[in-house]
Amino acid sequence: MLLLMRQLFYAHNYVQLLVQLLVGGTVYVAGVLWFFFTREPMGMQLRTRFAEYVHEFLGD
């Protein structure tokens, strides 16, 4: 996504750069959340490990 944004919309100032980074970050976060919350085996293992880590960290 960032490559496409860089080719089509060159950032001339920091505001435009921030917009590009927000778009790229949104796409990245959407992909990670999709992987994390789907029922795929690898995503489920990651979710289980993350939940165990959080429980150990919080002391629940």
Three-state secondary structure string covering 22-50: HHHHHHHHHHHHHHHHCCCHHHHHHHHHH
Whether the pLDDT of residue 30 is over 90: the answer is yes
Query: Which pair of structure tokens corresponds to residue 20?
Result: 């590009």
pLDDT at 44: 82
Is 0.85 topped by the overall pTM? no
pLDDT of amino acid 2: 66
Residue 50 clears pLDDT 70, i.e. is over it = yes
DSSP conformation class of 59: T
What's the mean pLDDT when you consider all of the chain? 84
Give me the pLDDT at residue 15, please.
92
At 25, the pLDDT band (50, 70, 90 cuts) reads very high
CA atoms within 13 A on the CB side of 59: 0
